[in-house]
Chain A
Amino acid sequence: MEAAAVARPRASRWGNALERQGVLASVLVAPAVIFIAALVGGPLLLSVYLSFTNATAGSLSGKWVGTENFRHEWSNQTFQDAAWHTFLFTVLSQVVVLLVAGLLAHALLRSFPGKWILRFLILLPWAAPLPLSLMGWKWMFDTSYSIINWTLENLGFVSKIDPPQWLAQPRLAMGSVIAVHAWRLIPFAVVIFLAGLASIPKEVDDAAAIDGATGLKKFAFVTLPLQLPIATVALLFGIVFTATDMAVVYILTQGGPPPSFSTEMVTTWSYKTGIESGSLGPGAAISLALLPVLAVVAIGMLIFARKREVT
């Protein structure tokens, strides 16, 4: 680490300290790395091992079956549907988040009376512990007592007997799950965007004004490009959060509704197979499908962000 790492213009100045810096750096990074290796790396390896066995019902060992789990599970239609749903879910919710958060962050830049309160309202979905706010949503979507349906019924837009079933009709269910997930991520994205916007140096602002770029032009040619690195990172985190988190789907629909299970995601399907049905090996194999895809996406986006950095 010491030798290859640092190439600075002040190399001679730091000559002596190079070694010390390297040592210090290792010391500083070590605890975090060790911790992560132990608590993520270790169990991950165990899970990978499991995916090659036929372990069942919670016991952490089983007979080696090679790639059979992968072959069997990845060719399963339910899994393939789940993969597609995960993709849809991730992409659509992120699009909504980006658009809304971008807009909101922009509008929140300047001060206006009442901004503090409005901002408070916007932050609420993020501040509330997720499983609790999901209960709120479940109540709002309830098959019998949904406030949304009550409103629509009393306004005469839908029938009292057969109102829209937000979690029981396939397309609506997917829409609801996407909406709730976006709802939960928007405040987080707004904050990140606000930070990004605030970081645009004033000189750039002034320069744009001088060049006559205002309003939409400014947004398109100045703000957007400068926002790109942050937006990319925000998008990346959003994608990862969305693809690997099963709370929203699990609590709202459990991957239903039958028969199409339109909201079944890779995470919930893995959970059902591995835990609820006791087939650990196959469950691990399903979950592992996410890793390479996300890794590729992550690395790709990181490279993109790095290239686009405006200094």
Chain B
Amino acid sequence: MSNAFREKSLSYLIVGPFAIVLAFPFYVMVITAFKNGTEFYDASATPYWFKQGPTLDNARFLFDNTPYTDWLENTALIGVAVVGITLLLALPAGYALARLSGRVGQSLGVGIFLTYLVPPTLLFLPLFWVISRLHLQDRLLALILVYPSFTVPFSTWLMMGFFKTIPQELEDAARVDGASRLKTLVRVIFPISLPGILTVIIFSFSLVLNEFVYAFTFISSTAHRTLSTGVYTDLIRGDLPEWGAIMVAALIPSIPLALLYNTFLDRFIAGFTGGAFR
């Protein structure tokens, strides 16, 4: 047995089972999403497959009875806006902190990270008060304003580590050629940091998608909700969650996003070559 073959099978042996375990809930979700409602209470029906054949009823329920498409739109809108704001704030800050060696830079960096330690359960009431003073409650703008408060620290950190891997010589060379500081930034640094930017985009977007407490507090009307809150509040009728519809709702964003992340993963990893987290 060649070394390569042995290593390959080892890879399968390790990755295979874990991949199955990690993805198993999604298999259950798929089956449940297309299962006939009456089968849920039928003890003889296997949960691994369809007894009466798959049905689109749950999907229909989701789209007919809830503003699911609104939720998708809202989430997408917020995601894009927040990613934009994050890039705007974190890129320059990360760069500045990377170049600012010495204690000031480090303590600022640590300081920014420390804001991460504050749990949302502590902040959401005062923040809601702020949002209402600004008359932003029940508006998507409220979330767009607040979400960067946790995406920016994280992204600044990422970019800081990333910029540190860009050798100073590169910048110096550009400066020697007479470029102004700003021009150097724009023309030389940022293009190189594209993989890092990609990272920030992916991480920030996923942070936005997963957020629950703020979205629930600031947004109250059904039509303005995001994915994370709308499904939870509108598809559980106290007595009975609409499991089929919930699963459909869960699958629709998950699969495309996983495909997207998977596609960009290699580029994203390439961006870290050089040791970003130094």
A residues with a Cβ closer than 8 A to B are 1, 4-8, 10, 17, 20-21, 24-29, 31-33, 35-36, 39-44, 46-47, 50, 58, 60, 100, 103-104, 106-108, 110, 112, 114-116, 118-133, 135-137, 139-140, 145, 147, 150, 183, 186-187, 191, 194-196, 198-199, 229-230, 233, 237, 240, 243-247, 251, 267, 270-271, 274-275, 280, 283-284, 287-288, 290-291, 294-295, 298-299, 302, 305, 309, 311
In the complex, whether B110 has a CB less than 8 A from a CB of chain A is yes
* Contact, CB under 8 Å: A110 / B26: no
* Contact, CB under 8 Å: B117 / A198: no
* Contact, CB under 8 Å: A104 / B90: no
When A6-B100, A29-B97, A32-B156 are in contact, do A24 and B258 touch as well, CB less than 8 Å?
Answer: no
A309 contacts across to B, CB distance below 8 A: 278
When A42-B126, A287-B119 are in contact, do A132 and B254 touch as well, CB less than 8 Å?
Answer: yes
* Contact, CB under 8 Å: A199 / B274: yes
B residues 1-51 near A (Cβ < 8 Å) are 7-8, 10-12, 14-16, 18-20, 22-23, 25-26, 28-29, 32, 40, 46-48
* Contact, CB under 8 Å: B102 / A139: no
* Contact, CB under 8 Å: B40 / A302: no
B14 contacts across to A, CB distance below 8 A: 103-104, 106-107
In the complex, whether B112 has a CB less than 8 A from a CB of chain A is yes
Q: Which of A60, A112, A124 contacts B125 (CB 8 A)?
A: A60
* Contact, CB under 8 Å: B145 / A120: no
A199 contacts across to B, CB distance below 8 A: 272-276
When A124-B26, A136-B26 are in contact, do A290 and B126 touch as well, CB less than 8 Å?
Answer: no
Given A44-B118, A121-B22, A131-B231, 19 further pairs, Cβ under 8 A: A31-B88, A32-B89, A32-B90, A32-B93, A35-B152, A36-B115, A106-B14, A121-B23, A122-B15, A126-B206, A129-B228, A131-B212, A131-B228, A131-B229, A186-B22, A191-B265, A195-B268, A195-B271, A267-B121
* Contact, CB under 8 Å: B210 / A129: yes
A240 to B148, CA, bound (A): 17
* Contact, CB under 8 Å: A291 / B270: no
A6 contacts across to B, CB distance below 8 A: 100-102
In the complex, whether B140 has a CB less than 8 A from a CB of chain A is no
* Contact, CB under 8 Å: A120 / B259: yes
Query: B106-139 interface mask toward A, CB cutoff 8 Å, 1 = contact, 0 = none?
Result: 0010101111111111110111011000000000
A8 to B172, CA, bound (A): 13
In the A-B complex, the 7 residue pairs with the closest CB atoms: A132-B250, A195-B272, A128-B254, A43-B126, A28-B92, A32-B93, A127-B258
Q: Which of A107, A135, A194, A247 contacts B269 (CB 8 A)?
A: A194
Q: Which of A41, A287, A288 contacts B115 (CB 8 A)?
A: A41
* Contact, CB under 8 Å: B254 / A127: yes
When A32-B112, A103-B14, A132-B254 are in contact, do A42 and B93 touch as well, CB less than 8 Å?
Answer: no
* Contact, CB under 8 Å: B102 / A128: no
A-B contact count (CB 8 A): 304
Q: Which of A24, A100, A191, A283 contacts B18 (CB 8 A)?
A: A100
* Contact, CB under 8 Å: A196 / B277: yes
A194 contacts across to B, CB distance below 8 A: 265, 269
A118 contacts across to B, CB distance below 8 A: 15-16, 19
Q: Across the two chains, which residue of chain A brings its CB closest to B181?
A: A24
* Contact, CB under 8 Å: A39 / B262: no
Nearest-neighbour CB distance to chain A for B31, whole angstroms, equals 9
B218 contacts across to A, CB distance below 8 A: none
Q: Across the two chains, which residue of chain B brings its CB closest to A200?
A: B275
Nearest-neighbour CB distance to chain A for B261, whole angstroms, equals 5
When A36-B153, A58-B125, A118-B15 are in contact, do A24 and B274 touch as well, CB less than 8 Å?
Answer: no
A246 to B277, CA, bound (A): 27
A195 contacts across to B, CB distance below 8 A: 268-269, 271-272, 276
A243 contacts across to B, CB distance below 8 A: 119
* Contact, CB under 8 Å: B130 / A42: yes
When A47-B123, A60-B125 are in contact, do A28 and B228 touch as well, CB less than 8 Å?
Answer: no
Q: List 14 A-B contacts (CB under 8 A).
A: A25-B99, A32-B89, A32-B112, A40-B123, A47-B123, A110-B11, A127-B254, A127-B258, A133-B25, A133-B250, A196-B277, A230-B277, A299-B110, A311-B278
Nearest-neighbour CB distance to chain A for B264, whole angstroms, equals 11
* Contact, CB under 8 Å: A121 / B19: yes
A183 contacts across to B, CB distance below 8 A: 22, 25
A122 contacts across to B, CB distance below 8 A: 15, 18-19, 22-23
* Contact, CB under 8 Å: A136 / B29: yes
A150 to B28, CA, bound (A): 13
In the complex, whether B186 has a CB less than 8 A from a CB of chain A is no
* Contact, CB under 8 Å: B102 / A5: yes
In the complex, whether B190 has a CB less than 8 A from a CB of chain A is no
Query: B213-256 interface mask toward A, CB cutoff 8 Å, 1 = contact, 0 = none?
Result: 10000000000000111011000000001010011011001110
* Contact, CB under 8 Å: B114 / A298: yes
When A31-B93, A32-B92, A229-B277 are in contact, do A240 and B117 touch as well, CB less than 8 Å?
Answer: yes
When A32-B89, A198-B273, A299-B110 are in contact, do A135 and B95 touch as well, CB less than 8 Å?
Answer: no
